[in-house]
Structure 1
């Protein structure tokens, strides 16, 4: 991708990039808080639309959704404009999620006849991915309220992964079942079913009636079995190595040793560790 070399354009691009990434200045914090709040409302609107609402309230929610999607579109364009490498930014997974999350709203708003079916079928399925936008806020350890530790960031990502897995599974299950299954009337019903299914409790009060609903349940359980232990293991591994020192044994290469170790526990070779007297 070409880069504009004029000083004015370069300065503007650097300014845009700085404030979209900044977590410390008042403006950077305000942008972070605003985007987080809008994202919460964006997801809440999706959930609210699955419940019985008056036409006026449904129309208000739709207007709010379009307005927020427009803000996110501006953010998306600004991220591409301010990026040092626009191609890398365009293909970045967070950026692609941002685009996919807002596309259904604009398709429903701009294409004739699509608005009438915006809450069913393909568009309903795709709209659940908007919750993935929250991952952008865990991209690094700096937040608008300060910097957190790596362990806290990993724990936050694990919690977010659990919530995203539950939310996306519930959204997909609702999309597949609500037309055919009288027990799945709202997003709350689908969310309850997914929590019960993933926890292997299985009360049996809600069961999938469609083939798609069954496969979504299977996929959600498999994802829970694979993804959650994988992320949890990172936290456990970090905690277990908290009191270790990263010094490689010159004989066998073992790189994690107790702080007071003078010999490698794997091969017995002498290792040398220098410590600050204050430690």
Structure 2
């Protein structure tokens, strides 16, 4: 019998320094290690700095340090965007994500200030963080899962408040208009959402009325959502293997829909 020739083992391809660098970025941006969590919170500080610069920009327009601060923040944001793109396993898919195009647009306004300052859109990163496990995993680890839904509802409401206040400040700010600063825009947003409507600040023109209507409708919906999460009985997310019902009482033994026996782990396990 003729012996089959032995197949030679394929040589292992060593990862290049650039690939190792991308792997390290991927672990920092998407990992859950202590170092990754510290890095992710440091990136959050950059987001807060951009928002603070947006709020203070009317006071800095005539300052000689305005452009210096503007371009410094633009450099930080460019570095963050480039690092996120390199950390992605599929750059083409990364470029198709709307949130990244928002960041690119904000970067353009920082590099060319005459386009306007839309740094308030960076607040949308709060919503992105609320969908990740960076914040909620420690709660689950310590048996505090009951606060996750309420926490997400609070973040959604806060994000909406600051985005709307930033929008109003950007498009309705003018001396003598009643919107003389970011605090006025935030005050108007809160009074509109709560339907208090003191009337001391109103948005002019048809665009102002349409904006007020949209803010009231969405704001009330978010308030109702938050109230539901705070006051409704706590239920745990655990899909029933038989009927697929997602939410059950933490101590449930049988599924209310089909009676199938559940094996819900205790909190903290």
CA distance in 1, matches of 2:104, 2:120: 13
1:147 is aligned, of 135, 138, 146, to 138
Q: 2:57 aligned to 27, 49, 69, which one?
A: 49
1:183 aligned to 175, 178, 194, which one?
A: 178
Aligned partners of 1:20 and 1:79 also within 8 Å: yes
Corresponding position of 1:203 = 198
Residue 24 to residue 65, structure 1, CA distance change in 2 (3 Å): farther
Please say if residues 153 and 229 of structure 2, whose CA atoms lie closer than 8 Å, have aligned partners that are also in contact: no
In structure 2, what is the Cα distance between the partners aligned to 1:25 and 1:273? 34
Match of 1:127 in 2: 119
For the Cα contact (< 8 Å) 2:253–2:263, is it kept in 1?
Answer: no
* CA gap 1:50/1:151 in 2 versus in 1, 3 angstroms: farther
Q: Does 1:215 align with 2:210?
A: yes
Deviation at 1:46, TM superposition (A): 0.8
CA distance in 1, matches of 2:100, 2:205: 33
For residues 1-279 of structure 1, what are the structure 2 equivalents within 5 Å?
Answer: 7-8=15-16, 9-26=18-35, 28-51=36-59, 55-56=62-63, 59-108=64-113, 114=114, 118=115, 123-124=116-117, 126-143=118-135, 147-149=138-140, 151-179=146-174, 181-230=176-225, 239-242=233-236, 246-247=239-240, 253=243, 255=245, 271-272=260-261
Figure out how many residues of one structure are paired with residues of the other and give that number. 248
Distance 1:222 1:45 in 2: 29
Please report the TM-score for the alignment, with normalisation by the length of structure 2.
0.74
- Check the 8 A contact 2:130/2:155 in 1, yes or no: no
**What 5-or-longer segments of structure 1 have no aligned partner?**
109-113
Instruction: Go from structure 1 to structure 2 and tell me whether the alpha carbon gap of 1:54 and 1:240 turns closer, same or farther (over 3 Å shift).
Output: closer
Cα-Cα RMSD: 3.5
**Inter-partner Cα distance in structure 2 for 1:82 and 1:275:** 36
User: What secondary structure is seen at the aligned counterpart in 2 of 1:203?
Assistant: coil
